Amino acid sequence: MKKPILILLIAALLVLTVAMTAIEALASKQEPQLEKMVFIHYKKDYAKPSGTTKQTACYKFLTQTKVRWQNQALPVSYTINPNNPVQSNLSSSEVVSAVLNAAEEWDNYTSKDLMNSYNIDYNAIPGVQDYKNVIGFGNYSDPDVIAVTTVWYNPATKAILEFDIMLDTDWVWGDATAQCNSNETFTNSSCEVMDLQNILTHEFGHAIGLGDVYDS
């Protein structure tokens, strides 16, 4: 009787081992628990257009965290929701053009293509972790906030897996160069236009893995 019992025990152990291996394999395939960094930008002055001559070193690499896009993930595709629900005079084509020009700025000044194809989705919501790189409008709780960029990454590999850029609807957005008189200062209440392309270019810097040198 002992031999059949021993065989049954061995068989049970084999089944248990196979089951545990399958569970571990399934767990390894599950999506990792992501962590995030949030870059919140507050209004200091109305955003100056790209024609300004003042040069500012405004980025640093995220060297302490080593958070970055992995080479195999580049270039990155993204989604644009061009609808600003509170500014009817800002057309979808203006928003899309500003986003593409801002992305192109980074591609032109780096050694590789960072941003790839895009699609337009009027239902996409920036700030929601869904593995979509969404650029769009939203309303942040603090009325002094201009834009918020959120970067999600795998804490084990430090690989960036998603970014979202939200432009706050409390502000008037457009082309500050075209809409503001060149003789006006950009803190003047008569020129309360946030330069869409200029600010998006800055936010794309965070999206590709750069942090601010200063608090903005």
In this structure, which amino acid lies at residue 132? K
> What distance separates the 2 farthest-apart alpha carbons in the chain?
101
SS3 108: helix
Please list the alpha-helical segments (H only) found in 49-141. 92-108
Q: What is d(CA 74, CA 96) in angstroms, rounded to the nearest whole number?
A: 21
Each domain of the chain, given as residue ranges in start order, spans: 1-30, 33-212
Mind listing the pLDDT tens digit for each residue in 142-174?
999 999 999 999 999 999 999 999 999 999 999
Q: What's the whole-model pTM score? A: 0.75
Read off the pLDDT of residues 60-103 as tens digits, 9 standing for 90 and up: 444 456 788 988 888 999 999 999 999 999 999 999 999 999 99
Return d(Cα 134, Cα 21) in angstroms, integer.
37
Percent of the chain with pLDDT over 90: 50
